[in-house]
Chains A and B, each alone.
Chain A
């Protein structure tokens, strides 16, 4: 039987600031299989972003275990973590994080610069096509609307064809129409087999996912499949 994609057991995270310890995650356990569309939902301060950063190899837990495709992550070194971030996961941030004064092409190409892939051009073209921004490929990032910026960010997350895409409040800085379009793209990616892990505090956005993990005060307080899933495609609920 296949290993689950992500398995965490009693994960804890403390932040130490001027010798004051802040406990953010108090012991979290769950499993996520490949090709799931999971929303991690909770109010701000619930620890959902911290959890995503740990799952996305940007941060390390204070205690507990994290298995990625069956591998214990805790004994990976800096270079191995960088390689996983490059090849296995992609990030979409609330504030886009595009490079300024840089073209759409170069922004999307960025992860490829740190990879072993050599077919940059075709990969970038495919990723930009997947988010429908072919006409913007030579524009500078600062010439785009918010929705277009987030689509560039998604293309950048896609370009190395990672198994998992993390989206941290991807619609947070967008109007509802643009947000809708972004969710549509994420759904499509999930349909094509990418695992999507979405972090949000909006229940409307979360209901695009197939499964919602609810968090509060650093603990999981709910984990259920979505019965009435919203689909961005027809703008209504799936029966």
Chain B
């Protein structure tokens, strides 16, 4: 029997029992679909996270207050207020570290903004005049505040795009007075529309001069974090190192003591982020792959029942000259026909579902890439064949080993 004959025969057997073949392969369909969905949706989520990160600006060095080491991130990440990072640190970095393009400190707060009868709840950010360069963004209408205004505790505000729309309904806001938490500010500009980046909708924030935010709005003498932009990607490590040395010096940290701050750069962060999300993705795919084993056992079970049902056929085939090898190959091919067909359906289903997720995510405004790589399709098909081979072997062997006389007499 040629291999082509045997393959034809296996698909013939599959077709003669359509419903049973489908139900038998269902476990494989679900398993393969799950793996494809997890890999594809995982890759989409990964690209979303990294895009979010990149849209904050490139070549950034971030400084958080509080120590961090290999045991974990700094406490400030978890909402613990650490006050070791001062406004003067940001100014010193600006002045003393080489290859720095822009620096801004950040203070964050929340409050209601009122203009006339309109009121919106916003996050307000106290930032420095370099904010625009740090975050690679632009003012759409009016202007940003200057370093002098910041130093002078000016009561000026720049609105996020949505805040402007909600408060002013498209009217020119420049020169108007708004009220944030009982304090009045003059609107001097509106930022261009940015969407979500760094998991904060940048259009629903209000930007204030850093000193104004610290002294008037928050009543604090520290900053939440500082972002430093290096003038090129090549200098990012040098900037990060110099910032570290400068801050250790400014914070009077002895050589045997730990930093009281943490410095990270976007380049490393993206590498870390990619590694973490990859690990997560493959971990989930591995869990999904367990369902393939369950599916495979199901296929094996049905194949054993099928061998039992077709004992007379096997006996007949042996009586007319089939060798053990012929029977073995036939049943393994039949199993593979089921798992491979299941794999194809699973891939189509998985890719379709992933496309749906991408469609929904894009509809919700996220930058979501649909990633179904040829590699994952080939792996899916390969795994389906492998499952058929592994779980078909035992039933096929039991069929091949049947004694022809026993098989022919079997009722």
Q: Which residues of A are in contact with B by a Cβ distance under 8 Å?
A: 53, 56, 58-59, 78-79, 82-83, 85-87, 90-91, 93, 97, 99, 101, 110-111, 113-115, 156, 160
Docked-complex contact A114 and B322, CB < 8 angstroms:
yes
B contact residues around A93 at 8 Å (CB):
408
Choose among A79, A82, A97, A101 the residue with the greatest number of B CB atoms under 10 Å from its CB.
A82
Docked-complex contact B1 and A85, CB < 8 angstroms:
no
For residues 303 through 330 of chain B, which have their beta carbon under 8 Å from a beta carbon of chain A? 312-313, 315-326
CA of A33 to CA of B313, assembled, Å: 32
B contact residues around A113 at 8 Å (CB):
1, 5, 322
**Additional pairs, 19, CB under 8 Å, beyond known A82-B323, A97-B408:** A58-B405, A59-B404, A78-B324, A79-B324, A82-B318, A82-B321, A82-B322, A83-B321, A86-B320, A87-B321, A90-B320, A91-B319, A91-B320, A97-B312, A97-B319, A99-B313, A111-B321, A114-B322, A156-B320
B contact residues around A78 at 8 Å (CB):
323-324
CA of A114 to CA of B5, assembled, Å: 10
Q: Which residue of A lies closest to B319 (CB)?
A: A91
Docked-complex contact B1 and A114, CB < 8 angstroms:
yes
CA of A34 to CA of B323, assembled, Å: 27
CA of A83 to CA of B323, assembled, Å: 8
Docked-complex contact A115 and B405, CB < 8 angstroms:
no
For residues 1 through 27 of chain B, which have their beta carbon under 8 Å from a beta carbon of chain A? 1, 5, 16
A contact residues around B408 at 8 Å (CB):
58, 93, 97
A contact residues around B320 at 8 Å (CB):
85-86, 90-91, 110-111, 114, 156
Chain B contact residue count (CB 8 A cutoff): 20
Total A-B pairs in contact (CB under 8 Å)? 58
Docked-complex contact B319 and A58, CB < 8 angstroms:
yes
CA of A79 to CA of B326, assembled, Å: 10
CA of A58 to CA of B5, assembled, Å: 25
A contact residues around B1 at 8 Å (CB):
113-114
CA of A91 to CA of B405, assembled, Å: 12
B contact residues around A59 at 8 Å (CB):
404-405
Docked-complex contact B323 and A97, CB < 8 angstroms:
no
Q: Which residue of B lies closest to A84 (CB)?
A: B321
Chain A nearest CB, measured from B395 CB (Å)? 19
For residues 113 through 157 of chain B, which have their beta carbon under 8 Å from a beta carbon of chain A? none
B contact residues around A91 at 8 Å (CB):
319-320
Docked-complex contact B316 and A114, CB < 8 angstroms:
no
Docked-complex contact A101 and B316, CB < 8 angstroms:
no
A contact residues around B323 at 8 Å (CB):
78-79, 82-83, 114
9 nearest CB pairs, A to B: A86-B321, A111-B320, A114-B321, A113-B1, A82-B323, A97-B316, A59-B405, A85-B321, A114-B322
CA of A85 to CA of B319, assembled, Å: 6
B contact residues around A114 at 8 Å (CB):
1, 317, 320-323, 326
Q: Which residue of A lies closest to B324 (CB)?
A: A78
CA of A156 to CA of B323, assembled, Å: 18
